[in-house]
Amino acid sequence: MTYLDIDPPHDELAERAILGAMILDPETIPQVLEYLREEDFYLENHRLLFSLLYKLWEDKGKDWDDIVLREYINRYGLSGRIDMSFVYALVDEAAKGALLEEAIKLVKEKSGLRSLMELSINTLKGIKEEPDFNRLIDFITHKVLEISEKQTITHYYHVKEVVSKVIDIIEKHRKEEKLITGRATGFLDLDVLTTGFHPSDLIIVAARPGMGKSSFMLSMAINMAMEEKVPVVIYSLEMSKEQLIMRALSMLSGVSLQNMRRGFIKEEERNKLIGAALELSRCEIYIDDTPTLSTTDLRIKTRKLKKEKGVEVAFIDYLQLLRPPVRKSSRQEEVAEISRNLKALAKELNVPVVALAQLSRQVEHRSDKRPQLADLRESGQIEQDADLIIFIHRPEYYKKSPPPEEQGIAEIIVAKQRQGPTGIVKVAFIKETASFRPLESASTQSVETYEPDLEELSEDDYDLDF
Catalytic residues, by residue number, are: 238
Cross-strand bridge partners of residue 436? 429
Contact 19, 49 (CB under 8 A): yes
State the Cα–Cα distance between residues 447 and 423, nearest whole angstrom: 7
State the Cα–Cα distance between residues 143 and 324, nearest whole angstrom: 13
The separation between the first and the last C-alpha atoms of the chain, rounded to the nearest angstrom, is 49
Name the nearest CA neighbour of 464 among 323, 333, 366, 352: 333
Cα 70 to Cα 84, 88, 123: the distances in Å are: 7, 11, 43
Largest CA distance in the chain: 95
The answer for residues whose C-beta is within 8 angstroms of residue 46's C-beta and 6 or more apart is 15, 16, 19
Residue at 23: amino acid letter: I
- In 7-130, beta strands by DSSP E: none
The answer for residues whose C-beta is within 8 angstroms of residue 402's C-beta and 6 or more apart is 395, 396
Contact 353, 322 (CB under 8 A): no
State the Cα–Cα distance between residues 341 and 318, nearest whole angstrom: 14
- In 76-209, beta strands by DSSP E: 202-207
Determine the 3-state secondary structure of 317 from DSSP.
Answer: strand
State the Cα–Cα distance between residues 189 and 146, nearest whole angstrom: 41
